[in-house]
Amino acid sequence: MLDKTSPMPNDYFQITTDSVESTKNLGEKLGSLINIRTTFALMGILGSGKTSFVQGLAKGLNVPDGYYITSPSFTLINVYPGKHKLFLIYLFRIDRMNDLDDLGLYDILEENGVIAIEWADKLSAELLSEYVAIHFEISNENSRKIGMTAYGLEEASLLKKLKDSY
């Protein structure tokens, strides 16, 4: 469901990672570049690397080592401390848009922190205005094709910094 108009060429970045560790490293690098409130809309099938990416993102945001980052399948939302508060939202079990209000998602989207939404394709495009959409595809057992699209000026700047770091 989540989709917007086609981005400009500078608003897109694609990379293929060759292991779980390199997917985590990508997330860590991106997390270390974040200076302001940022939302990530993560999309891909089970096992495509979303949670591994968020584990790296958390490391880049300096979430303390004592916090284990996992998909919050029972709680739906987990919050972690770091240089920016990290909200991990897991929408796999959400069936109706009304459930989002009960979840408190609208309030979280106004928070000053980093928001990572797994299964964001369940959201309406109107819900997010500025964000980075990240699509995960399984290339083979170990590698993942990861495409990132920025929607917003700050998000495009973040992707440019990431591209420049490779």
As a whole number of angstroms, the longest Cα–Cα distance in the chain is: 41
DSSP string, 144-163: EEEEEEEESHHHHHHHHHHH
Per residue in 19-75, pLDDT tens? 999 999 999 999 999 988 999 999 999 899 999 999 999 999 999 999 988 876 677
Among 55, 39, 50, 42, CA closest to 155: 39
Note the pLDDT of residue 112.
Answer: 86
For the chain, list the domains and their CATH numbers. 20-164 (3.40.50.300)
**Predicted TM-score (pTM) of this structure:** 0.89
